Amino acid sequence: MPGTVWQTVESVKKFAAIEAGGTKFVCGVGSGPDDLVTTVIPTTSPDETMTRCLAFFRTQGALAAIGIGSFGPVDLNPASPTWGHITTTPKAGWQYTDLAGAFSQALGIPVGFDTDVNAAALAEVRWGAARGLENCVYLTVGTGIGGGAVVNGQLVHGLIHPEMGHIRIPHDFAADPFTGNCPFHGDCLEGLAAGPAMQARWGAKAAELPPDHPAWKLEARYLALAVANFVFTLSPQRVILGGGVMQQTHLFPLIHTELTAMLNQYLQAPQILSGMHEYVVPPGLGGRSGLLGALALAHEALR
């Protein structure tokens, strides 16, 4: 976590960062949130995409390290021969693509690598809505649902890495006959509450649904169920909800109400009892959490 050594490194060196997504790679060079030059490169083939990223980085002068927060699944086991690879992704042409090794070797610098959502969680602890805290959960709700966690100041990896979007939550078919659209699990959290699930169920994109549409109460319930599970299992000091669906800000008060009822005063923590509006919050870094998280991973690569 941030400290004197890290801040000294930050002040004197430039770092490269990539938020690697299925539709675009956001590349940045700098030292922190207030010092970052960025460019956006469409995600095409691995060779073309990485070549264009490298061309950008080579115009930016000397770089100390690079950090990559990537779409997945990815291999985060340092002892694995495929560490730093995207693995079984449905993204055509990207299965078992070596990201970390390719960029590290091409630029001749150390690399930090993690999931895009773990990177976002790290950025929010460093600079955003969870700054100064040791424990948080970051959940993004958009085209898919994914989550990252920082516990006792460390990113959670474990067997592979968290797949928070695929947890199972109660599904009342009488109230919601939609069967879910996750190709692997049907009515998991992502299959019920991601943007495509909302569109399939209601026939309109989330941004097109008015605030008083019944979609939002159902969406709030599903997301509150997920947050309740994460609160009970990981005991985060703050929960951050980002992504395209969460840009509909009227959703937050609905989630707060549902979550308060679900917890039912069982957890006597002041952060919860004083009001959910300060406990379950939007990203403090807005849409920059992923890229800044990659920058933080670059800093970590020098430790």
Domain that holds residue 85: 4-119+288-301
- Cα–Cα distance for residue pair 254/247, rounded to 1 Å: 14
The answer to whether residue 124 sits within a structural domain is no
Encode pLDDT of 50-107 as tens digits.
Answer: 999 999 999 999 999 999 999 989 999 999 999 999 998 888 999 999 999 999 999 9
Contact yes or no for 99/112 (Cβ under 8 A):
no
Encode pLDDT of 134-148 as tens digits.
Answer: 999 999 999 999 999
- For the segment 237-260, the average pLDDT, to the nearest whole number, is 97
Do 187 and 277 fall within a single domain? yes
Q: What percent of the chain has pLDDT above 90?
A: 88
The answer to whether residue 189 sits within a structural domain is yes
Do 97 and 151 fall within a single domain? no
Query: What secondary structure, in 3-state letters, does 273-299 show?
Result: HCCHHHCEECCCCHHHHHHHHHHHHHH
Q: How many domains does the chain have?
A: 2
CATH of the domain at 31: 3.30.420.40
Contact yes or no for 281/239 (Cβ under 8 A):
yes
Encode pLDDT of 170-225 as tens digits.
Answer: 999 999 999 999 999 999 999 999 999 999 999 999 999 999 999 999 999 999 99
pLDDT (0 to 100) of residue 10: 46
Q: What residue has token string 């790290």?
A: 122
- Cα–Cα distance for residue pair 104/122, rounded to 1 Å: 21
Res 12 pLDDT > 80: no
Predicted structure pTM score: 0.91
Do 183 and 163 fall within a single domain? yes
pLDDT (0 to 100) of residue 90: 82
Q: What residue has token string 């950025």?
A: 123
pLDDT (0 to 100) of residue 278: 94
Nearest to 120 by CA among 95, 143, 146: 146
269 DSSP assignment: -
